[in-house]
Chain A
């Protein structure tokens, strides 16, 4: 995996909550057996009109977001299907990071990203940045006011900085293990295979088929 340390790029906003992975990449594109070719179909149903031309109403089609590489969205981004194609589509359309707000509901804190999606992002070095709701709201407003606004997401320092005349900067949390993997671009499978002795030791006492009758013809 390619390491992720820091990235500077244009921000693009998508003002919707609960964006599901069916929206990010509709089902018809999941039939591909390749890992590429998804970028042009990102948000297909919102992005294009029935005749295949770009939908001018859809924010990401706006000229101001051309070349954007940091996507800003609302809470519960990436919910639904486990399809990793959603992450590939976002990346292949040029994005390196997604920003969304966590939400306080009563006593519980609702994470910004759905679990499986967040995991899939980490496996592909697409950085997920969780900020508070007021912070994300501020980012939305600044992007609105300053076309072409750029930001830097510095993973090492866990800071997201808006490059305004007077820089505005936010701290974000990320778990230590994901951060480590991203910064060093670690290969998870290779890493786990280094633990082969531990896996073998575990397998010598743990039989997943302990209770299973001998395999019969089906």
Chain B
């Protein structure tokens, strides 16, 4: 029988399998624990200090420093990035600098023109390549799966494990194929498709699985759009999401300045190998589903997790009418969000718009939103933050004049970092503030204590910034 994309990569990275010990009567047998080899380990300042400290305490080294790459992104201020006023943030950033120097790890620091959100710079640098395994102490590591890479987030103990051994102990996850048939009708985007999927299967619908996305919609997508889809796999509970590599993937890797990507003859050999990765026609998945992309409308979340989402033409739901959630869950979410059941989504005003994050801060995202901002002004009393995902994205946007479009429209144009996606830096919502955000999590307090987050695509965010409330971008654009 054939193998799936996931199984091919998994099998090529199993160092050894440790069988379940018989001393566990009655326990569910797992087929053993695999020692899985990790090709690239990405590190950032928040989830690594305790791991490096663990190495120091046990007198261990980083086994493969040349496969380990670090940057700082979560704590970084996006206005004056070199002046970090919060002493605790500053200490965390300095700890990363010190740890990288001590253990010989390559660091793209705040002065580097390659700095950025870790999941944005991996692909930019050519570190993210098909058929490889990538881990990072960050749940959005699933982003890299867009290249046909097995990539997933890990905790700090596992970060230490990978630093020390270049391996991880893993039981094999199940596989789940999601087929997006048809093509989304612009301005419906990859973001809308993934939000629709999460709304359909729920925030735990993918738990225990690796998702593989396929179908016409995925094939037609750019790499950047595929990254948006894979990025939010974790919001469906799946640690990893993957897309089989194809010509789009190879072209992306060959384009631009990617110091770690193969070139010339090495590239040709690589492509030949990468072509063997897609799931075989007779490969079996543990679960499959399909979703008609042509029927998907722009999505807006109304609640406090990414599965609480509706079409922009919809209304804030009645608490007893949301499948998969108890009445109390919905009441709690609506109370936090300050929303009344039955309100049309397009009548909800916002205070802030955030365009950024590892979900939607690549150059295409900025181009798409700039198209909407061009020749328009943002609504009065709305604050709009545009935060490029990396310094490379920032430079590119400025070279294309996008920054001028944003500034003329009344937006703030910032330096790169995680920014308001999670408010570990000065960019935060105030209590009660409502935000249209291109990020990935609308959890309570995520963007600032008491802040109210609605997840949308970059295009929807831009249109919302101009209108001052959510709009159905499809009809709004025609005006």
Contact = CB atoms under 8 A, between A and B. Distances in A.
A119 interface: yes
Interface string A96-119: 000000010100101100111001
Contact of B50 (A20, A33, A108, A179): A33
A152 interface: no
Contacts of A114: 204, 207, 237
Contacts, number: 243
Interface string B48-60: 0110010000101
Which one of B12, B237, B266 has the highest number of Cβ atoms from chain A below 10 Å of its Cβ? Answer: B237
Given A22-B443, A218-B114, A119 B158 contact: yes
Contacts of A202: 15-16, 37
B325 to A, nearest CB: 7
Nearest to A202: B15
Given A124-B157, A180-B24, A192-B169, A22 B329 contact: no
Contacts of B338: none
Contacts of A32: 88, 92
B2 interface: no
Interface secondary structure of B, over-half rule? loop
Contact of A115 (B64, B169, B237, B260): B237
A124 B60 CA distance: 19
Interface stretch (B132-140, B364-372, B398-406): B132-140
Nearest to B33: A177
Contacts of B15: 195, 198-199, 202
B32 A177 contact: yes
A211 B270 contact: yes
A83 B160 CA distance: 14
B79 interface: no
Nearest to A33: B49
Nearest to B332: A16
Which one of B12, B16, B287, B328 has the highest number of Cβ atoms from chain A below 10 Å of its Cβ? Answer: B16
B86 A198 contact: no
A183 B26 CA distance: 14
Contacts of B158: 119-120, 123
B132 A192 contact: no
B27 interface: yes
Given A18-B305, A33-B91, A27 B423 contact: yes
Interface string B279-298: 00000000100000000000
B275 interface: no
Interface stretch (B148-156, B374-382, B457-465): B148-156
A165 interface: no
B139 A116 contact: yes
Interface stretch (A3-11, A141-149, A168-176): A168-176
B299 interface: no
Given A189-B160, A211-B129, A176 B29 contact: yes
A17 B21 contact: no
A188 B161 contact: yes
A188 B35 contact: no
Contacts of A176: 20-21, 24, 27-30
Interface residues of B, number: 102
Contact of A177 (B39, B154, B171, B287): B171
A20 B23 CA distance: 34
A158 B86 CA distance: 46
B165 A193 contact: yes
Nearest to A207: B39
A185 interface: no
B239 interface: yes
A20 B305 contact: yes
Contacts of A30: 46, 74, 424
Contacts of A206: 12-13, 37
A60 to B, nearest CB: 16
Contacts of A211: 129, 261-262, 266-267, 269-270, 273
Given A180-B23, A189-B165, A75 B204 contact: yes
A213 B35 contact: no
A15 B445 CA distance: 19
B178 interface: no
Nearest to A31: B88
A216 interface: yes
Contacts of B13: 206
Contact of B443 (A23, A50, A209): A23
Nearest to B160: A189
B89 interface: yes
Contacts of B344: none
Interface string B148-191: 00000111111011001111010101000000000000000000
B319 interface: no
B40 A208 contact: yes
Contacts of B171: 175, 177
B444 interface: yes
Contacts of B138: 81-82
Given A83-B47, A218-B259, A33 B28 contact: no
A28 B449 CA distance: 10
A29 to B, nearest CB: 9
Given A35-B53, A213-B263, A175 B27 contact: yes
A150 interface: no
A215 B67 CA distance: 11
Interface string B237-270: 1110000000000000000000111110011011
Given A114-B237, A174-B28, A20 B443 contact: yes
Nearest to B264: A213
22 contacts: A18-B204, A26-B445, A26-B449, A31-B46, A80-B234, A81-B422, A115-B237, A115-B238, A120-B155, A175-B28, A175-B29, A177-B18, A180-B20, A180-B27, A189-B160, A191-B18, A198-B16, A199-B15, A210-B270, A211-B261, A215-B260, A216-B259
The 6 closest A-B pairs by CB, nearest first: A211-B270, A123-B157, A208-B39, A33-B49, A120-B155, A176-B20
Given A115-B237, A206-B12, A212-B262, 9 more contacts: A22-B444, A27-B424, A30-B46, A33-B49, A33-B92, A80-B441, A108-B287, A119-B155, A209-B66
